[in-house]
Structure 1
Amino acid sequence: MLRPATHLAAILMAFSSFSAITAADETDHWSFLPPTRPEIPAVADASWPRNPIDHFLLAELEAFDIPPAPEADRATLLRRLTFDLTGLPPTPEEVEAFLDDPSPFAYEAQVDRLLASPRYGERMAQHWLDLARYADTDGFEFDHTRPDMWRYRDWVVSAFNDDLPYDRFLALQMAADELEPDNPAAAVATGFHRCYPDMVDMNDQGERRQIALDDITETTGLAVLGLTIGCARCHDHKFDPLSQVDFYRLQAFFTPARFDDAYPVSTPAQERSHDAAVRSWQGELAALRAAILRLEADPRETLAPGPPRDPRPNTQNAFATPAEDRTPDQIRIVYDALAKDPRIDPDQLDAALGPDRLAERNTLRTQLDALNDAGPPPLPVARVLVEDSPDAAPTHLLLRGQYGKPGPEVEPGFPSQLDPNAPRINPTDHSTGRRSALAAWLTQPDHPLTARVFVNRLWQLHFGRGIVATPSDFGVMGTYPSHPELLDWLATELPNQGWSIKRMQRLIVTSAAYRMSSQFDPDSHAIDPDNELFWRQNRRRLDGEAIRDALLSSSGLLNPAQGGPPIFPELPEELTKLSSQGAIWPVSPTPDERNRRSLYVFIRRNLRYPFFEAFDRPDTNASCPRRDVTTIAPQALALLNDRLAHDAASALAERLDRSTGPDPAARIRLAFLLTLGREPAPSERELASRYVNDHNEAAWHSFCLALLNLNEFVFLD
């Protein structure tokens, strides 16, 4: 560790954690105390800081005589910023505009542009969905599809794009049905709690529910509080001051809730529109049925006079009503009854119609069948957590965490080390009010953990490592903050900024610290080899979703359509053979649909999309605070051999031809701008020119494939 005081404290704390934790240890642990706003430290080099963040970092660097790395060049900055905020590469037009902008605020203008982009929400949603363990299937043996889970994904995208304040963002996911009872669509937010893997065919459905509640409790602790409270399900936590009672008291906020897989979330306007569409559709069906009935009327009356015998009153009433006065439903009843009339042989009816009327009738039937299958889509439903009653069944501590072994009854409560007071709960006529009380507690400005945990996640997003390197473990066994004062300043700044996520990110990415290059310095490395003091920017590899999106974007194949049900890209042939003739992975029918952003790729727990799996896609059975980053042979093989990469290379070569014509130099320049976000160096121009000098299609394809396989394509400097 680096700093004499704080880092020595961390070492001593780690040693003490292996012995019994005393009451004093619990009280003094830094993360259980409310954040206090520190003074912004003075620094010797007042010319370097751009905002308060830089003062905190530079004060530490100066204490160790470590100079901050120089600022990255503009092309590197724009590529880093664009991927961080949108998950996509900058376009050549954006690169050229930024490089040519002489304004001293050109960089800030780019930040504002990217934060306002609808692509911002898609990128930020990817990180949150990792925490929420989002998937489109149940997992386990049958891995059933969750047809409406995507509505929660789209809610998260919209929340980030709308800059929904983080306190409200959290509160709605905890208790939208209680906080906005007159807005059914808000309940989609509670899908956060319905992302758990689910063994739907368990013999004991009570045990299935208990497993879900355990998962909900644990994930809330990890994602929101940054605590491994799930370790206290069976016994008191071995290291943190979290008792088994604390676990079940937290769970008691959720036990009254009902798990609804088809909760109506339509708005009144949607319902009116749907009703109008249904009436119109039914009218068109009725018109076709009535036309068929008129064609068949005379032959039927000749073959079997009068209506068929049917004792049901609604059928008798339908036949008794004059044809011109029948409602669409009565026309359907008459049509169905005559179609099943046992008195008439269909062949006899066809013969009685004659060839002309028979042909007309068959045409009408074809139109009727097609229209019948093309009815208005159903009103939206969602997978949510809701309550219907102010009453709650008792919650019991489970002995050793085992279902069927209830211990003492517990009431809703917060972890005692964080707040020993009983929660203030206000029931309503449709709800216990428990989860809204939990939401209110979590979003207190002085909460010890909520803001700290979230600003640390934002820092990790932009620097590759959090100020606390264990982002979902702020407990005794988690790492000590590298910059505790900076963490507390950011945690207090979040509510000061109205809990605005975009404002906090703007603060971070406009700092001098974020703008540093990743340039290596041997002297600084000798003092701080792990870059704990952030003396340079960390070089980061893109995740699999961003790599796929970059392949599609640079080649011009990316379909920017947003939202809606998930899509299914093509699988490798060997996996297609295992997919039950498409039942498990029904490939989307058109390339345009398949080439949408990676956020919308179907997430099947038991069959991960192979390209993402090669690039460390996390297991969606548990909350993921930070993805693993490996370097393995399948990654290079995927970029070199995968159909996705070859399709992108071919499309990129065609794009170069369309955009620049036959000029090789112009093609090469555009290729570098599209794939790497920069101009080619003179040596690169020369090498590329020699390679493609015969201008044949194969040479340009392999040149483009080579660019897509560069380390620079999949890494951010």
Structure 2
Amino acid sequence: MRGLLAWVGIPVIVALHHSTASGVDFNKEIRPLLSNHCFECHGPDNATRQADLRLDIRPSAMTVITPGKTKRSELIHRIHSNDPDRIMPPPDAQKSLTNPQKQLLVRWIKEGADFQQHWAFEPVQQEISKPHRSDNWSRNPIDHYIYNRLRSEGLRPAAPADKATLLRRISFDLTGLPPTLEDAKRFLADESQDAIEKYIDQLLLSSAYGEHMALYWLEASRYADTDGYQNDRTRHHHVWRDWVIMAFNENMPYDQFITDQLAGDQKPNATLKSQIATAFCRNHRINSEDGSIPAEWHVENVADRVDTFGTVFLGLTVSCSRCHDHKFDPISQKDYYELFAYFNNNAEWGVGPNNGNSPPFIEIPPAWPNISKDLDKPVRPEPLRLSNARQEAGNGLKRPQPGSATTLMVMHDLETPRETYLLNRGQYNLLDKSQQLYPTVPSALDFNSTLQPKTRYELAQWLIHPKHPLTARVAVNRYWQQIFGLGIVESSENFGVQGSLPSHPELLDYLATTFIQSGWDTKALLKQILLSATYQQSSDVNQDLIQRDPNNRLLARGPRNRLSGFALRDQALVASGLYVQGIGGPSVRPYMPPRIWRSISNNSYKQDVGSKLYRRSLYTYWRRTIPPPTMMNFNAAGREVCIVRTEPTNTPLQALTLLNNKIFVESARNLAQQALQQGGESNTKQIEYIFQTILTRLPTQQEIQILTESLVLFQQRYAEHPEEASALVSVGESITNERINEQKLAALTMIASTIFNLDEAITK
């Protein structure tokens, strides 16, 4: 609001007490309006602030607002002005207020202009009042919060989903894999009241659970098998990935999970396992191009750690403060570089070596991970063999020889801390040396003045303090997003002023509180969600509900989301019998176009052979510059930077992938071969075998009729064109039974491919 204070001739009397009016809600209605229309010029950013007016904090805002008196409030005069030089927001900002928005501001001021702290910075309510059970639908406290919101919106919950639907939904949500036929038969035959709970417990104990949970963390942690940038050289980081799988399978408390990854090297009696965990901080890209300036890329590496820390643990866009004060959230540029100071002391040089990992790194025994007990023993710094960063980065590293130890990039601070300064415009060589900065948490999050962390370990302890307003909320929200497709806070990456408001704020705090009180028990949290009536609703929807709640934010129906590219590929492998189990180890290179890498480098993609082709998609080699196209077609994160939420899309490429990608064709062929050998003699029996294997249910009579008619057409086609049948059944490295008629196999392969492409098969 340009020149606003200059117009005000006399001081405005500021109310001493906040209004307690229950009409207009500041956090829900007023703050978002001010943030979208005013904060760019009248918000936290000191450099772009106009007229020295801040509308994000009460004392400054009250210079243009007189609570209860709109005629004495300059803000009201300005938003209603017809003078283009006086109206706010100014016309050239292209952020004009609508009449309802103006009326809302008038109402707010009439009611006392109540200001509230941004909801995400308020303490988590430790004593959450659980709604009284007043319905016959709720099964646990989650349902009470959902039911009360539905009732206030004039909606009712959907009917329960059938057991076959729940079987598939639960299996994919906990393991990322389809249920086995044996599990399906056992579960569907179990008529006990705790059948669902027993099935959940079974899956939580499976090794596939840890693999599935790790996938989400790898994307958030920007894990990849290469360094990125132009050279994009291979790195050896799979040991950290395997540590993540192990942590989830062992149900490591989330507070320890955080601490080990941020500062496992600084823990009292640090172990090799906790050292391995700190590779989380080294998952960023590393530049090894000729002519790279070490100081520049050191800054980029540290900035990536800060940005990832802010997104993953705080749910805040702290990266916006690298070059200037945040325009919407109370995070200054000084705050950013004080966070920067926590991660600025790693004994690294900034650029990568010619090959191998960038120091500091540790050597991992060849027997990893079959030595987990030894990994828990305390270690001293000497056996870790931390390499000298400058010397090793300059000379390059030798690749580990077969049978030798694997190296892993980790965190290890210098004995003498690096000096940290604010960088003007975020540039590495524009240091503001007027003031040295030291590790300090943002003042907006200083919930306990006695906690002033100075090391990464102390920062982790600050993060997991029960009174921290963000850590538990951010964590449970992402787990909710993982299950339902959307978080309670839809913008899971941004809990700040520009982020989404929680759809069920009391539920969010209830989950955060119980998560902390349970000892940060992730499995217990997921089990509570999956046992809720909310989760177990049918996903059937009517036109009225689609119009009122298209994204299912109110949860008047069960979750129904498309499977990821990882889950779709794994489903095909499991159904076809090609799936090769095995936890951990180096990444594998399954089918991909042989020339796919040529657009970036002279290197050709070297496909693996044998069982490595059929390992779980989690273990697929991830090159940052050219990620696996099957996964990217289904909206996987690229892993160049931290990503905690991707937007789903529906494109023709997805259907083409499922129809033509080699692994899906080969899986369809192997499943068809099984049907011919084990399904029975008739077309109907063979179709039923394929259908039930993929969808864990028998087809309806109408589905049988449609598929049988299609099968006959395919049989006729391949009888007339046997060369096409031969080409189809030759796709993939797995062996085809020569005694099976190729035309029959090809026709049934197309039926299997069709079922793999059904909407029911690609969703959960």
Deviation of 1:374 after TM superposition, in Å, equals 13
Provide closer, same or farther for how the CA distance between residues 482 and 502 of structure 1 changes in structure 2, counting only shifts above 3 A: same
Q: Are 2:181 and 1:97 equivalent residues in the alignment?
A: no
Q: Which moved more, 1:80-89 or 1:567-576?
A: 567-576
**Which of 472, 475, 485 in structure 1 is aligned with 2:493?**
472
Q: Are 2:430 and 1:412 equivalent residues in the alignment?
A: no
Return the alpha-carbon distance in structure 2 between the equivalents of residues 630 and 272 of structure 1.
Answer: 40
Amino acid across the alignment from 2:672? A
Other-structure match for 2:388? none
- CA displacement, residues 12-31 of structure 1 (integer Å, 9 cap, x when unaligned): 21111133243349961110
Normalization by structure 1: what TM-score? 0.80
Q: Are 2:247 and 1:222 equivalent residues in the alignment?
A: no
Amino acid across the alignment from 1:113? Q
Other-structure match for 1:606? 625
Amino acid across the alignment from 1:99? L
Other-structure match for 1:206? 295
Other-structure match for 2:130? 40
Retained in 2: the 8 A contact 1:133–1:195?
yes
User: Secondary structure at the residue paired with 1:386?
Assistant: coil
Other-structure match for 2:274? 186
User: Secondary structure at the residue paired with 2:342?
Assistant: coil
Is the helix fraction higher in 1 or 2? 1
Deviation of 1:6 after TM superposition, in Å, equals 8.8
Return the alpha-carbon distance in structure 2 between the equivalents of residues 482 and 702 of structure 1.
Answer: 44
Return the alpha-carbon distance in structure 2 between the equivalents of residues 271 and 589 of structure 1.
Answer: 24
Q: Which moved more, 1:692-701 or 1:245-254?
A: 692-701
Q: Which runs of 5+ in 1 are unaligned?
A: 274-372, 427-432
Other-structure match for 2:34? 16
- CA displacement, residues 111-149 of structure 1 (integer Å, 9 cap, x when unaligned): 101111100111111111111111111111111111x21
Deviation of 1:584 after TM superposition, in Å, equals 4.6
Amino acid across the alignment from 1:115? L
Amino acid across the alignment from 1:383? M
**Which of 238, 242, 249 in structure 2 is aligned with 1:154?**
242
Other-structure match for 1:628? 647
Amino acid across the alignment from 2:628? Y
Deviation of 1:218 after TM superposition, in Å, equals 0.8
User: Secondary structure at the residue paired with 1:258?
Assistant: coil
User: Secondary structure at the residue paired with 2:231?
Assistant: coil
Return the alpha-carbon distance in structure 1 between the equivalents of residues 506 and 129 of structure 2.
Answer: 9
Retained in 1: the 8 A contact 2:484–2:559?
yes
Amino acid across the alignment from 2:572? L
Deviation of 1:657 after TM superposition, in Å, equals 2.7
Listed as ranges, the matches of 1:100-249 within 5 Å are: 100-146=189-235, 148-179=236-267, 181-201=269-289, 202-249=291-338
- CA displacement, residues 267-320 of structure 1 (integer Å, 9 cap, x when unaligned): 7998999xxxxxxxxxxxxxxxxxxxxxxxxxxxxxxxxxxxxxxxxxxxxxxx
Amino acid across the alignment from 2:676? D
Retained in 1: the 8 A contact 2:594–2:606?
no
Normalization by structure 2: what TM-score? 0.75
Amino acid across the alignment from 2:326? H
Return the alpha-carbon distance in structure 2 between the equivalents of residues 620 and 595 of structure 1.
Answer: 23
Look at both structures and tell me which one has the larger radius of gyration over its CA atoms: 1
Q: Which moved more, 1:118-127 or 1:604-613?
A: 604-613
Deviation of 1:102 after TM superposition, in Å, equals 1.0
Deviation of 1:199 after TM superposition, in Å, equals 1.6
Deviation of 1:207 after TM superposition, in Å, equals 1.2
- CA displacement, residues 529-577 of structure 1 (integer Å, 9 cap, x when unaligned): 4422111123211111111111111111111122010000121255376
Amino acid across the alignment from 2:329? D
Deviation of 1:105 after TM superposition, in Å, equals 0.6
Other-structure match for 1:398? 423
Alignment: residue pair count = 603
Q: Are 2:346 and 1:257 equivalent residues in the alignment?
A: yes
Return the alpha-carbon distance in structure 2 between the equivalents of residues 605 and 411 of structure 1.
Answer: 33
Q: Are 2:750 and 1:702 equivalent residues in the alignment?
A: yes
Amino acid across the alignment from 1:410? L
Return the alpha-carbon distance in structure 2 between the equivalents of residues 198 and 375 of structure 1.
Answer: 23
Provide closer, same or farther for how the CA distance between residues 691 and 203 of structure 1 changes in structure 2, counting only shifts above 3 A: closer
Deviation of 1:597 after TM superposition, in Å, equals 0.6
Deviation of 1:52 after TM superposition, in Å, equals 0.5
Retained in 2: the 8 A contact 1:264–1:379?
no
Return the alpha-carbon distance in structure 1 between the equivalents of residues 24 and 477 of structure 2.
Answer: 18
Return the alpha-carbon distance in structure 1 between the equivalents of residues 629 and 315 of structure 2.
Answer: 30
Deviation of 1:190 after TM superposition, in Å, equals 1.1
Return the alpha-carbon distance in structure 1 between the equivalents of residues 134 and 546 of structure 2.
Answer: 22
Other-structure match for 2:590? 569
Return the alpha-carbon distance in structure 1 between the equivalents of residues 665 and 137 of structure 2.
Answer: 45
**Which of 536, 554, 560 in structure 2 is aligned with 1:533?**
554
Deviation of 1:229 after TM superposition, in Å, equals 0.6
Provide closer, same or farther for how the CA distance between residues 177 and 605 of structure 1 changes in structure 2, counting only shifts above 3 A: same
Return the alpha-carbon distance in structure 1 between the equivalents of residues 553 and 370 of structure 2.
Answer: 58
Retained in 2: the 8 A contact 1:636–1:709?
yes
Amino acid across the alignment from 1:677? T
**Which of 583, 608, 614 in structure 2 is aligned with 1:588?**
608
Provide closer, same or farther for how the CA distance between residues 711 and 127 of structure 1 changes in structure 2, counting only shifts above 3 A: same
| More relative contact order, 1 or 2 (CA 8 Å, 6+ apart) | 1
Return the alpha-carbon distance in structure 1 between the equivalents of residues 369 and 155 of structure 2.
Answer: 63
Provide closer, same or farther for how the CA distance between residues 270 and 447 of structure 1 changes in structure 2, counting only shifts above 3 A: closer
Return the alpha-carbon distance in structure 1 between the equivalents of residues 441 and 705 of structure 2.
Answer: 66
Deviation of 1:203 after TM superposition, in Å, equals 3.0
Retained in 2: the 8 A contact 1:423–1:437?
no
Retained in 2: the 8 A contact 1:68–1:516?
yes
Deviation of 1:379 after TM superposition, in Å, equals 2.0
Provide closer, same or farther for how the CA distance between residues 394 and 576 of structure 1 changes in structure 2, counting only shifts above 3 A: closer
Amino acid across the alignment from 1:436? Y
Return the alpha-carbon distance in structure 2 between the equivalents of residues 11 and 448 of structure 1.
Answer: 21
- CA displacement, residues 466-519 of structure 1 (integer Å, 9 cap, x when unaligned): 000000100000000000000001111111111010000001111000001111
Amino acid across the alignment from 1:549? D
* RMSD, aligned CA: 2.6
Return the alpha-carbon distance in structure 2 between the equivalents of residues 571 and 116 of structure 1.
Answer: 33
Other-structure match for 1:282? none
Deviation of 1:579 after TM superposition, in Å, equals 8.1
